Amino acid sequence: AGAGALATRSTPQQPTTAHAPSPSDPFPFYGPHQAGIVTPAQDRLHFVAFDVTTTKKAELVSLLQEWTAAAARLTQGKEAGSFGAAGGDPEAAPDDTGEALGLPASGLTLTIGFGPTLFDDRFGLAAQRPAALADLPKFPGERLIPEISGGDICVQACAHDPQVAVHAIRNLARIGFGRVSVRWSQLGFGRTSSTSRAQATPRNLMGFKDGTANMKLEDTELLRDQLWAAEQDGSAWMAGGSYLVTRKIRMNIETWDRASLREQEDIFGRDKGEGAPLGKKQEFDAVDFAARRPDGQPYIAEKSHVRLAHPSAHGNAHLLRRGYNYVDGSDGLGRLDAGLFFIAYQRDVRKQFVPIQMGLAKNDLLNEYIQHVSSGLFACPPGVQDAGDYWGRSLFG
């Protein structure tokens, strides 16, 4: 059936030094870290959380192996299986669903993570649960919806084309039939962070530049200290991996849109046009929390978002933020169902997300305009080394 030849969606353009990176290009799948973490954030997201339905560890491992093989192909702009959407046995279901035929790799990355529930007594993994994958506490004010929270396994698909991201998740769900079921999934658009200094800072749905003070892929030492898990952290299988927190944060968009510009800027502590810290001129000017206005008040309010989230507020904790805007239509009451699908990677949630979010949940002026409605926590293992390796081998192998 012409396996292989038929199953190439379009000729993938290998990035070379001869041409500038294009949104069509593939990112390498193999490497010490999973792609999709420090990879310059793409424009689109399809994030999925699965429940594992098989009770057999061997079936789970073979699923991870099949997923890895499919992910290695999909991220390079190929079809999910070697026969493809139209090249296989006419009596069998195709091994690719077909909606990405003709589309390039579009910068697709697929990043897997394992939730705390995977380490219960089903698969004998309890002793392998990393201490850094500590259950999140209940934060003041959150109203989490269980049906769109948690999950045994997550896959984050990021791409420059939403059809490519959705196609990838759909095919992984198809391959997983009978072994996993989709618990929840979320589409996102308009990245709300930069993860490289080569990227311009995008804007969130509140209209503010978001990602200015983010950790960036160029911050090698900071990433080593604050992003990547290491062997000495206690779970050797996670060395080179990272811990992921997702929070779906609904915005009260209509109320926000009636707030004055001054109030909006005071809430964040940055100006809306340039994104500069209040009292400064340029986006990347250093924040000065001691600076005062002529009336004696601090330029950056005590309960502003950037003051409370700043590393100086909680023992120099940083996050690699990688979130997306979302609009899930409207809520039937004339309001947009919209907000931020917050994604953050870090080395230890106990030292990073938890203290930062606790400070925000208690005091952030932004809380009047937002509501946390879903939460996810996942251990994302190190990267896949080569075609003989698979997602999670260090845990299961």
Give the residues lining the site for ligand L6N33NVT (CB under 6 A). 204, 206, 208-214, 247, 249, 251, 268, 270, 287, 305-306, 309-311, 319, 339-340, 342, 353, 356-357, 360, 370
Backbone angles phi, psi at 313, to 5 degrees: -85, -15
b vs e for 68-101, b when ≥16 Cβ sit within 10 Å of the residue's Cβ?
bbbbbbbbbbbbbbbbbbebbeeeeebbbbeebe
Q: How far is the CB of 323 from ligand L6N33NVT (least distance, A)?
A: 8
Pick 68 or 375: Cβ nearer ligand L6N33NVT: 375
Residue 17 Cβ, how far from ligand L6N33NVT at the closest point, in Å? 31
* Secondary structure of 300-349 as H, E, C letters: CCCCCHHHHHCHHHCCCCCCEECCEEEEEEECCCCCEEEEEEEEEEECCC
For 155, counting Cβ atoms within 10 Å of its Cβ (0-12 exposed, 13-18 middle, 19+ buried), the class is buried
The shares of helix, strand and coil residues in the chain, as percent rounded to the nearest 5, are 25, 20, 55
Q: How far is the CB of 210 from ligand L6N33NVT (least distance, A)?
A: 4
- CB of 216 or CB of 270, closer to ligand L6N33NVT: 270
**162 sits in which H/E element:** helix 162-175
Closest contact distance (angstroms) between CB of 324 and ligand L6N33NVT is: 11
Q: How far is CA 375 from the centre of its chain?
A: 12
Q: How far is the CB of 308 from ligand L6N33NVT (least distance, A)?
A: 8
Using CA atoms, how far residue 341 sits from 47, 66, 85, 353, in Å, is: 10, 28, 32, 15
Task: Report which of 118, 381, 125 is spatially closest to residue 238, judged by C-alpha positions.
Answer: 381
CB of 106 to ligand L6N33NVT, least distance (A): 25
Residue among 73 and 318 whose Cβ is closer to ligand L6N33NVT: 318
Record the tokens describing residue 274, joined without a space.
């340039």
H or E, element range at 71? helix 57-74
Closest distance to ligand L6N33NVT from the beta carbon of 15 (Å): 28
Nearer to ligand L6N33NVT, 128 or 214 (CB): 214
- Shortest spacing between CB 66 and ligand L6N33NVT, in angstroms: 35
CA angle 212, 375, 130 (to 5 degrees): 90
The rounded distance, in Å, linking the Cα atoms of 54 and 14 is 38
Which residue, 164 or 308, is less far from ligand L6N33NVT as judged by CB?
Answer: 308
CB of 75 to ligand L6N33NVT, least distance (A): 28
Residue 162 or 311 having the CB closest to ligand L6N33NVT:
311
Closer Cβ to ligand L6N33NVT, 12 or 190, answer by number = 190
CB atoms within 10 A of CB 55: 9
208 vs 390, beta carbon nearer ligand L6N33NVT: 208
- Is the Cβ of residue 167 or residue 322 nearer to ligand L6N33NVT in the bound state? 322
